[in-house]
Amino acid sequence: MGWALCATACGGSPAPPPSTIFDPSGSSNSPPPVDVTTNPDIERPYAPLDGAATDSGRWVGVSVLRGAVRFSRPPGWSIRDASVENGHSFVRYVSPNAYSFAIYERVDAPGKAWREILEHYEGDVTANGAKAIGQRVPVATGANQGRSYTIDRKIESKEPVLSRSREILLRGDHHIVLVQVVSMEENLSRIAGELLEIFRRLEVD
């Protein structure tokens, strides 16, 4: 996981503020967002994962995607947007350390072969006009196995820019999810310690 996080993850021309711009469902219709300030279903406390991180303060244990994912996050994160639509739920956070962290529900059955799960995701990437420049790198959290990708996308703006993100497919016994990290820096070395702490305690049900 350390290699996957520290390898090239975001580069190119100066980019707009960190954002997640890929709909992993592969659908042209994004799930309807919810009011992130009032909806209790987006994120619930998960006390067993409360605790001190190795490099900073006390972190907050949370449960998201209707209980499918549990992890510890820094207390300074804010929720940018989210959906609780069954089969297409997601939550996207913004860190004060200038990156975004998103978790998307995938519709694949966890009993499928890795090959089928990866081919479905890669098809979605292509359909959204993006390109995988690094793919299928084996990774692991404290509880789950996964595959890591580095994805390039062109962002249409006044001056088109290139966005690069790290995207990790993780499978549990009952769910498949995609974790996406977007930063404006050349690589993730500055935030690698924080990300490793998150993935160390991230659990997919």
Task: Please check whether residue 175 is in contact with residue 116, taking contact to mean a CB–CB distance below 8 angstroms.
Answer: no
Domain CATH code at residue 101? 3.40.1000.10
pLDDT of residue 5: 61
Of 7-11, 33-37, 139-143, 160-164, least confident by mean pLDDT is: 7-11
Q: Which domain holds residue 112?
A: 2-204
The number of folded domains in the chain is 1
> Quick one: pLDDT band at residue 16, thresholds 50, 70, 90?
very low
Closest CA to 62 of 22, 103, 23: 103
φ/ψ of residue 2, rounded to 5: -60, -45
pLDDT at 129: 86
Count of Cβ atoms closer than 10 Å to residue 48 Cβ? 11
Do residues 76 and 58 lie in contact, with contact meaning Cβ atoms separated by under 8 Å?
no
pLDDT (0 to 100) of residue 186: 73
Query: What pLDDT was estimated at residue 175?
Result: 96
User: What average pLDDT score do residues 144-152 get?
Assistant: 95
CB 135 within 8 A of CB 126: no
| Model confidence at 9: pLDDT above 90 | no
The pTM is what?
0.85
**pLDDT tens, position by position, 171-201:** 999 999 999 999 887 788 999 999 999 999 9
How confident is the model at residue 86, as a pLDDT? 87
**From CA 48, how far away is CA 62, in angstroms rounded?**
9
* pLDDT tens by residue, 25-81: 444 455 566 888 888 899 999 999 998 766 557 899 999 999 999 999 999 999 999
DSSP 81-143: EEE--TTS-EEEEEETTTEEEEEEE--S-TTS-HHHHHHHHHHHHHHTT-EEEEEEEEEE-SS
